[in-house]
Amino acid sequence: MLGAKGSVNFWQPANIPTFLKLAQVIYMTAIKNQLGGLVKDVAAHKMAALVEGSSLDKMTPVELRATVSLASIYGLRMFGLFSILPIFAVYAASFPEHPTPLMIGLALGAYGLTQALFQLPFGMASDKFGRKPMIYLGLGIFAVGSMMAALAMNIEGMIIGRAVQGAGAVSAVVTALLADLTRDENRTKAMASIGATIGVAFAVSLVGGPLLNQWIGVPGIFFMTAVLTLAAIAVVKYVVPDPVNSHYHSDASAAPAKLKDVLNNAQLLRLNYGIFALHAAQMAMFVVVPFAISKASTLNVNQHWFIYLPVLLLSFALMVPAIIYAEKQAKMKQVFVAAVATMLFAQVLFAFSISFFWGIVFSLTVYFVAFNLLEASLPSIISKMAPAAAKGTAMGVYNTAQSLGIFVGGAIGGYLSHRFGFSSVFIFCSVMMLLWLLLAYSMQAPPALKTKMYSLDEASAELSTEQASKLKNQLSKLAGVLEAVVLPQERTVILKVDLKIHNTQAWNESKVQQLLRG
């Protein structure tokens, strides 16, 4: 709409196209300003790889095929779960019995509860029954749950279908299979590829969900998810390589014996609470925001992608400089705490502006800047803070906390919005974020380090306890080594190296190789 002098009135929902153009200009400007630095960073990393690495650091065709195929399975599964987020609440409210927001929230978050219950057991069972059989089982359960949700005629049926979906918790098994199919020195890159795939799936689903809803509806999305899941089973069978040697990996799998140490680690508990609160707030938000947007504007749920697309573009453009600053200046804790504070600010904004269209848009932009930054930072910080020999267990507990947050957020978000209104949901989320801010502010700063993994010679005899202890002591004495772990049964050595030392001539890679060769 235009004012008296022809100026754009940005406070009217009718100007979504103008907002899209504005978002594009801001996004492209930010990317242009950062491009030079990013190109320099990439060039520096390439040069470092040429100087330090060898052909052994490159992924083999088998490793590349395993990474791409397993990442695609992750991505398809996550797309099916994420794509309903911006539309599910409105759809569920249309059931004939007119379910309460509490029931809608339970349906939205139900998969989180069963995923939390089955995630670690599935991973541990794969050590005994095999990776691929457990993936077939998990994907089969997920497909059945998707079909049940597609055919549900009431909210109770939807809750059951979503719970069955979550019971097909194959994430830990897929991670373990990827560890079987990649060498230690390439595993971090492979895991990062999966993380990037999940991030892309989330962004695409927020835009794609409303579009798909317009064409095939929510039942159609669940049917599509079931079909894609069955296709994923075929990919696992015919495309994903079979591991030559399948065994437990400390960096990728959870171990019951290490759970106590991880659960007693105060620094890790702070981070576990963080991911719990982050995803609880996300689910609570998606119980409320779809209704709030429709109520505050003329947009129906199929048009909500008009908002999510520019908001995601803007949030990404604003997030990139923060990540670059944190990495370049070794200011991870400062940026992390600032992101938590930004998330708190977003929740307060929601609480006060949830009834106003542009207030919702601004709140969503602030929210996604913080969310994307925290979602990207938390796994990295967990990896740096966790004991090297218990990284897989730490990540397993972290993922379980995330799933529990999904369930709790959906349930509490539905209950509060029904009893006390939309704003009460965000007041509750603000309290969660305030507690997280206090925990984050008082946590230890994550060390600036590089984790390096080495494989011991498969042809050599397994190291004895005495030999492993001697090698560990020798490696620990090297300049820059903060932690050394020798795992004879896995034939793996893990080093955590001070990043400042690693990037200088003080780091002696040849000495490490010499010690490993004995």
Q: What is the CATH number of the domain that holds 457?
A: 3.30.70.100
How many domains does the chain divide into? 2
Please give the Cα distance from 303 to 329 (Å, whole number).
41
pLDDT at 214 over 60: yes
| Cα 380–chain centre separation | 11
Res. 54 pLDDT band, cuts 50 70 90: very low
Say if residues 58 and 50 touch (Cβ distance below 8 Å). no
Buried residues in 122-145 as b, exposed as e (16+ CB within 10 A): bbbbbbeebbbebbbbbbebbbbb
Shared domain check, 472 and 387: no
Res. 57 pLDDT band, cuts 50 70 90: low
Shared domain check, 482 and 354: no
Say if residues 225 and 363 touch (Cβ distance below 8 Å). no
The least confident of 135-144, 188-197, 209-218, 348-357 is: 188-197
Closest residue by Cα to residue 478 from 511, 434, 504: 511
Domain membership of residue 176 as a residue range: 60-441
Res. 28 pLDDT band, cuts 50 70 90: low
Please give the Cα distance from 27 to 417 (Å, whole number).
34
Shared domain check, 245 and 218: yes
Q: Which residue has the higher pLDDT, 212 or 491?
A: 212
Shared domain check, 221 and 266: yes
Would 47 be classed as within a structural domain?
no
Shared domain check, 430 and 460: no
Res. 21 pLDDT band, cuts 50 70 90: low
Strand 492-498 versus strand 481-487 pairing type: antiparallel
pLDDT at 318 over 70: yes
If residue 121 lies in a helix (H) or strand (E), which one and from where to where?
Answer: helix 101-129
Percent of the chain with pLDDT over 90: 63
pTM for the predicted model, two decimal places: 0.86
pLDDT at 20 over 60: no
CA separation, residue 86 to residues 92, 299, 433 (Å) = 12, 13, 22
pLDDT, mean over the chain: 87
Residue 453: its pLDDT value, please? 87
Residue 325: its pLDDT value, please? 86
pLDDT digits (tens, 9 = 90+) for 264-281: 999 999 999 999 999 999
Q: What is the CATH number of the domain that holds 182?
A: 1.20.1250.20
The least confident of 46-50, 441-445, 483-487 is: 46-50
Domain termination site, one of 402, 420, 441: 441
Res. 46 pLDDT band, cuts 50 70 90: very low
Once rounded to an integer, what is the mean pLDDT over residues 282-288?
97
Res. 185 pLDDT band, cuts 50 70 90: confident
Q: Which residue has the higher pLDDT, 96 or 42?
A: 96
Shared domain check, 454 and 348: no
